[in-house]
């Protein structure tokens, strides 16, 4: 209706004020009862997130799923009851600057979204340490999940990697997304030109605008701000997906080669519908992966806070934990307890030769260890044998194995290298990125 026609209608209606009041009451009621998508994504909004937005429902949003309509759980490809998905978007340089780890557990119902820092230090399988964003730069679609999974001790069933164009196409395929912008914000390119300008209030974003919103990092802006924006967009995408897996399958097939999925499309569609169900019901916990800032030469990176992360992963991914067995190697966290730069990297070769998976931990919480220590949990079956195997691989005496306590706080086995450790004559290659001088929890 035109503005002129609207004014004529209002002039003829003596009940205009009453109708206006009733409309306002309906809107408020909708926000309270049905507008769960208008609530901020973060349980505790990050004050550092500039232009933070909450998500509003699409006009075409489907009816919320009831418990009786919950998707029937299927065993995930890895055989675990809880299904997990790594969803990442690459920038124009091929780096995965936006990453979230999603989990779906139906009994008890639990959805999880973990925001993963692009500069997180990870170990390449059989190779050196690098930053997480670089793992998506090549043609191996599974490399990112194979680097992140042992670090967190969580089985990752699938990776969904999208380039900018595919991400924009995904948003357009669901009719766009709605965001409630808290304040007017401008997104600018490196040359200063404006990419996207968003006024305050509820705004509808098409695919290219959503890609700019999620991928652009403003000058001087904290990385957490971009991570939060991307998580908001992911949540709204999941909410707007069809509840019919066959329709999601068609949608995925339309995205082309710039969208890489490591699961068969039919299985991926069912996993996305499960995740949609959690978002629709408002049962999605979310947080930033706990890390500590470290220096890598002149560059900055993030190292996992292993103690906090272990508690988080156990609480939120209880049925997706990596349990050592015939197909799952023992995870060994290696930290440097001395001031000898690069010492921890020399342990990689002998440990991997003995079929252990190495997780780099940087420097120990304190330095000056004269003797190396191999820590295991006393309550974990088989841990004593794991510790003995690690000590043997590193050429350490059996007395180096110690029981750390009844509860595992990091990896399956934790090693603190001391001055008595003598690297093998042919150590593994030096890592491409290390943070040996930075303390690790």
Question: To the nearest whole percent, how much of the chain has pLDDT over 70?
Answer: 77
The pLDDT, as a whole number, for residue 393 is 96
The pLDDT, as a whole number, for residue 41 is 45
Check pLDDT > 70 for residue 63: no
Q: Strands across the sheet with 201-205, in order?
A: 53-55, 177-181, 201-205
The pLDDT, as a whole number, for residue 430 is 42
Check pLDDT > 80 for residue 399: yes
Q: Are 266 and 409 in contact (CB under 8 A)?
A: no
pLDDT, tens digit, 9 for 90 and up, residues 260-301? 999 999 999 999 999 999 999 999 999 999 999 998 778 899
> Which of 364, 158, 128 is CA-nearest to residue 268?
158
Confidence of residue 407 (pLDDT cuts 50, 70, 90): low
C-alpha–C-alpha distance, residues 179 and 200, integer Å:
10
C-alpha–C-alpha distance, residues 358 and 336, integer Å:
13
Check pLDDT > 60 for residue 51: no
Q: Are 156 and 86 in contact (CB under 8 A)?
A: yes
The pLDDT, as a whole number, for residue 220 is 83
pLDDT, tens digit, 9 for 90 and up, residues 147-165? 999 999 999 999 999 999 9
pLDDT, tens digit, 9 for 90 and up, residues 178-233? 998 887 888 887 777 888 888 888 999 999 999 999 998 888 889 999 999 999 99
Check pLDDT > 90 for residue 243: yes
Other beta carbons less than 10 A from residue 34's beta carbon = 13
pTM over 0.95: no
Distance of CA 48 to the CA centre of its chain: 19
**Angle subtended at Cα 333 by Cα 332 and Cα 339, rounded to the nearest 5 degrees:** 130
DSSP string, 274-310: HHHHHHHHT-EEEEEPPEEEEEETTEEEEEE-HHHHH
**Angle subtended at Cα 229 by Cα 225 and Cα 235, rounded to the nearest 5 degrees:** 145
C-alpha–C-alpha distance, residues 434 and 28, integer Å:
53
DSSP string, 44-100: S--TT-TT-EEE---TTPPPPPPGGGPPPP---TTS-SSEEEEEEEE-TTS-EEEEE
Average confidence score pLDDT of the chain: 81
Residues pairing with 360 in the sheet? 334
More confident position, 66 or 324? 324
pLDDT, tens digit, 9 for 90 and up, residues 103-124? 999 878 899 999 999 999 999 9
pLDDT, tens digit, 9 for 90 and up, residues 120-130? 999 998 778 89
Neighbour-count burial for 264-280, b at 16+ CB within 10 Å, e otherwise: eeebbbbbbbbbbbbbb
More confident position, 311 or 432? 311
Check pLDDT > 60 for residue 237: yes
Check pLDDT > 60 for residue 38: no
416: tokens are: 């603190």
C-alpha–C-alpha distance, residues 356 and 411, integer Å:
12
């Amino acid at each position: 209706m035109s503005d002129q026609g609207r004014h004529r209608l209002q002039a003829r209606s003596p009940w205009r004020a009453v109708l206006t009041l009733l409309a306002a009451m309906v809107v408020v009621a909708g926000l309270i009862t049905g507008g769960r998508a208008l609530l901020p994504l973060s349980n505790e909004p990050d004050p550092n997130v500039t232009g933070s937005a909450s998500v509003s429902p699409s006009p075409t949003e489907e009816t919320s799923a009831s418990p009786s309509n919950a998707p029937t759980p299927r065993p995930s490809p890895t055989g675990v009851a809880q299904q997990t998905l790594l969803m990442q978007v690459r920038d124009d340089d091929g780096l995965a600057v936006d990453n979230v780890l999603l989990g779906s557990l139906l009994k008890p119902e639990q959805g999880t979204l973990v925001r993963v820092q692009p500069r997180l230090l990870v170990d390449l399988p059989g190779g050196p340490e690098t930053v997480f964003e670089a793992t998506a730069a090549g043609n191996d679609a599974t490399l990112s999940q194979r680097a992140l999974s042992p670090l967190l001790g969580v089985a990752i069933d699938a990776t969904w990697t999208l380039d900018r164009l595919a991400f924009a196409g995904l948003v357009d395929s669901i009719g766009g997304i709605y965001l409630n912008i808290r304040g007017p914000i401008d997104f600018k390119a490196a040359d200063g030109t404006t990419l996207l300008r968003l006024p305050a209030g509820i705004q509808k974003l098409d695919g290219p605008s959503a890609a700019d919103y999620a991928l652009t990092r403003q000058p001087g802006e904290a990385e957490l701000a971009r991570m939060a924006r991307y998580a908001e967009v992911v949540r709204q995408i999941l909410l707007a997906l069809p509840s019919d897996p066959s329709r999601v399958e068609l949608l995925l097939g339309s995205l082309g080669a710039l969208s890489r999925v490591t699961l068969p499309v039919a299985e991926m569609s069912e996993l996305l519908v499960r995740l949609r169900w959690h978002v629709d019901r408002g049962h999605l916990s979310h947080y930033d992966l706990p890390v500590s800032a470290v220096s890598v030469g002149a560059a900055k990176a993030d190292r996992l806070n292993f103690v906090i992360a272990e508690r988080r992963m156990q609480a939120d991914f209880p049925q997706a934990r990596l349990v050592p067995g015939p197909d799952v190697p023992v995870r060994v966290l290696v930290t440097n307890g001395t001031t000898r730069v690069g010492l921890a990297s020399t342990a990689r070769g002998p440990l991997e030769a003995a079929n252990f998976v190495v997780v780099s931990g940087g420097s120990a919480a304190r330095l000056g260890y004269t003797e190396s220590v191999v820590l295991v949990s006393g309550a974990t079956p088989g841990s004593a044998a794991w510790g003995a195997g690690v000590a043997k691989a590193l050429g350490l005496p059996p007395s180096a194995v110690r029981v750390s306590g009844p509860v595992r706080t990091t990896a399956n086995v934790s090693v603190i290298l001391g001055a008595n450790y003598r690297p093998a004559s042919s150590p593994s290659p030096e890592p491409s990125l290390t943070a040996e001088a930075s303390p690790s929890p």
